Amino acid sequence: MFDGPEPIYVQIAQMIRAQVLSGELGEEEQVMSTTQFATTFRINPATAQKAFGQLVDEGVLYKRRGLGMFVAVGARERLLEEHRTRYFDEVLRPALLQADLLSIPRGAIVDFVWGRPPAAPDKEDS
The amino acid present at 118, given as its one-letter code, is P
Residue 20: which of 48, 62, 67 has the closest Cα? 62
CATH of 8-73, one of 3.30.365.10, 2.40.30.20, 1.10.10.10, 3.30.470.20: 1.10.10.10
What is the model's pTM? 0.77
pLDDT digits (tens, 9 = 90+) for 45-101: 999 999 999 999 999 999 999 999 999 999 999 999 999 999 999 999 999 999 999
Q: H/E element holding 103?
A: none
Exposure on the CB side of residue 48, measured as CA atoms within 13 A: 16
CB atoms within 10 A of CB 105: 17
Rounded to whole angstroms, the Cα distance separating 92 from 81 reads 15
**Where are the domains positioned within the chain?**
8-73, 76-113
pLDDT tens-digit map of 14-23: 999 999 999 9
